[in-house]
Structure 1
Amino acid sequence: MFLRTYGISQPTRYTFSEVKKIARRFKEKIGQGGYGSVYRGELQNRVPVAVKMLENSRGEGEVFINEVATIGLIHHANIVRLVGFCSEGTRRALIYEFMPNESLEKYIFSHNPNIFQHLLVPQKLLDIALGIARGMEYLHQGCNQRILHFDIKPHNILLDYNFNPKISDFGLAKLCPRDQSIVTLTAARGTMGYIAPELYSRNFGEISYKSDVYSFGMLVLEMVSGRRNSDPSIESQNKVYLPEWIYEKVINDHELALPAETTEEEKEKVRQLAIVALWRNRPSMTKVVNMLTGSLQNLQMPPKPYVTSENQLMP
């Protein structure tokens, strides 16, 4: 019913046999997510693509519908483009533009010091954060309907040939009218460590676009520290609360994760990123873009973050 109603020519609808050809019979697997496997492929015109085969689609293909409905018709430099899809019986596939440099997660948590020193220099970190912020601003303000992503995290930020960031994976997204600020959800959605407190408990307030802003803040804190905000493999995780740890570093003028030789200007860029990410009143993404493109001198230091009973940053 959804596909009949959709009734448009973009993105292209493919048959499963066409998908098999595009994915070159699924020979080169390049990723695995919660909803299926991703394969490298190529369109007839030799354009490289990524083919995601949905294997664990919840309900009546909710993840599939979310992806097609949300990113099928939007075009933005910082949002991954959906080229086509397939829905044939139980077989569902999504075909995206190919992102050669994989996800941001691979770089910010890398144990290879060269990655930080040569790729994620402070200016590049700022460019990546700004690109993600612009993509999110478009989702929240620039579309006919507001799109709330609900799963902003380093794994879902893909990098193109020039390391420009593109937001991907809209399987948990929710569409709502632009003038509607409060959203109703039947259950929390997202990934541990990036989920805003109100998604766990109404005691923390209503669910809105600010839930995405919270996730963005956590992502940026991970970018400037090179540390995960939530790592189940560390037993003493509760002893180190990332926002508080970064706040202390910034307030005491201590350095964050930086290459060995860093100029004063570069240190200021990282400090600027940290201050923007620490704002717990969660400004709109338009305000975030302005703060990232403005000067450090114009930024106020936010109040100190503190841990709630859910080990989450207070809104």
Structure 2
Amino acid sequence: MDKNSEEFLQVHDMLIRYSYSNVKKVIKNFKHKLGEGCYGSVYKGSLRSNNEVAIKILKQSKALGQGFISEFATIERIDDVNVVQLIGFCFEGLKQALVYDFMSNGSLDKLIFLRKKIYEITLGVARGIEYLHQGCEMQILHFDIKPRNILLDKNFTPKVPDFGLMKLYPINHSTVSFTTARGTLGHMAPKLFYKNIGGVSYKVDVDSFGMLLMEMVGRRKNIHADAEHSSQIYFHYGCTTKLMKAKLLKWKKLRKRKGM
């Protein structure tokens, strides 16, 4: 185990530390898998207190060791009703895990087409993103705001989780530099498509939040791979195309009325 990482974790001892063997017991030896992402898999478990938890088992890689420390150091200081709460962790060399409160209503993508509490949910997501941008010691850019990454607790209170792609930078900085794209197609800001990204700001998360709103209001997934036309593949591009066509039609009618 990296000596510096271990010293860091011993100093930051506010959270419960679990052994890897205990983690396996809690999740009943990987019995109930909730999902999988590029940084690891999430499993449902139950503590001795009968409290249900979601445990993210990170992929075994030396390169992810510092990523774990970065994510841990950030999340342990977060305290907001609309951001997922970290309650414990495991760090045994390449065996790393993060323990969160379990969200009984799952992710927003499973309920995206429902009208239930749509205002409260979108407002809660917005407040969670605002907290990451302005409520912490460091600004936190999430880079992957999408329905699948918004969790709902038993009261349908939305929580922003999954900081695998996050980037931290000082509050007084307006931009942060990047050389590679981050995020999910259909939700990432258009600026992140370009090869030479340069400086980006919190607005990339605001763009992604806008895509999320379009999905909820339009009741249609942002990505439709089987669409007939390329402009229909991404919902927001399709909306832009329709808007331009409507303006063009209006302009033609106006010219016709004036006899031009």
| SS in structure 1 of the partner of residue 178 of structure 2 | coil
Gaps of 5+ in 2: 244-260
RMSD (Å), alpha carbons: 2.6
Instruction: Report matched runs for 1:221-300 at 5 Å.
Output: 221-239=214-232, 242-243=235-236
Retained in 1: the 8 A contact 2:178–2:199?
A: no
User: After the TM superposition, which of the residue ranges 100-109 and 234-243 deviates more from structure 2?
Assistant: 234-243
Instruction: Report matched runs for 1:73-222 at 5 Å.
Output: 73-108=77-112, 116=114, 120-121=115-116, 124-201=117-194, 206-222=199-215
Larger Rg belongs to: 2
Among the aligned pairs, what percent are the same residue? 50
Gaps of 5+ in 1: 110-115, 251-315
| SS in structure 1 of the partner of residue 199 of structure 2 | coil
Deviation (angstroms), 1:132: 0.5
Q: Which amino acid aligns with 1:92?
A: Q
Aligned residues, how many?
241
Q: 1:94 to 1:212 in 2, by over 3 A?
A: same
| SS in structure 2 of the partner of residue 61 of structure 1 | helix
Output the CA distance in 2 between the equivalents of 1:161 and 1:77.
13
Deviation (angstroms), 1:61: 2.8
Any runs of at least 4 consecutive aligned residues in structure 1 with deviations exceeding 4 A, and if so which? 202-205, 244-250
Task: Give a deviation string over 1:239-279, Cα, whole Å, max 9, x none.
Answer: 465336557999xxxxxxxxxxxxxxxxxxxxxxxxxxxxx
Report whether the alignment pairs 1:31 with 2:31.
no
User: Structure 2 residue aligned with 1:5, among 8, 18, 23?
Assistant: 8
Q: Which amino acid aligns with 2:28?
A: R
User: After the TM superposition, which of the residue ranges 15-24 and 231-240 deviates more from structure 2?
Assistant: 231-240
User: After the TM superposition, which of the residue ranges 237-246 and 151-160 deviates more from structure 2?
Assistant: 237-246
User: After the TM superposition, which of the residue ranges 155-164 and 68-77 deviates more from structure 2?
Assistant: 68-77
| SS in structure 2 of the partner of residue 184 of structure 1 | strand
Q: 1:125 to 1:89 in 2, by over 3 A?
A: same
Q: 1:150 to 1:26 in 2, by over 3 A?
A: same
| SS in structure 1 of the partner of residue 49 of structure 2 | coil
Q: 1:126 to 1:57 in 2, by over 3 A?
A: farther
User: Structure 2 residue aligned with 1:43, among 44, 47, 55?
Assistant: 47
Q: Which amino acid aligns with 2:23?
A: V
Q: Which amino acid aligns with 2:184?
A: T
Aligned match of 2:248: none
Deviation (angstroms), 1:203: 7.7
User: After the TM superposition, which of the residue ranges 236-245 and 223-232 deviates more from structure 2?
Assistant: 236-245
Q: 1:198 to 1:3 in 2, by over 3 A?
A: farther
Output the CA distance in 2 between the equivalents of 1:208 and 1:57.
29
Task: Give a deviation string over 1:165-207, Cα, whole Å, max 9, x none.
Answer: 0001001111111001110123111111112122233888730
Output the CA distance in 2 between the equivalents of 1:142 and 1:218.
23
Q: Which amino acid aligns with 2:99?
A: I
Retained in 2: the 8 A contact 1:182–1:208?
A: yes
Report whether the alignment pairs 1:55 with 2:48.
no
Output the CA distance in 1 between the equivalents of 2:6 and 2:127.
30
Task: Give a deviation string over 1:49-76, Cα, whole Å, max 9, x none.
Answer: 0111112658243542343122122111
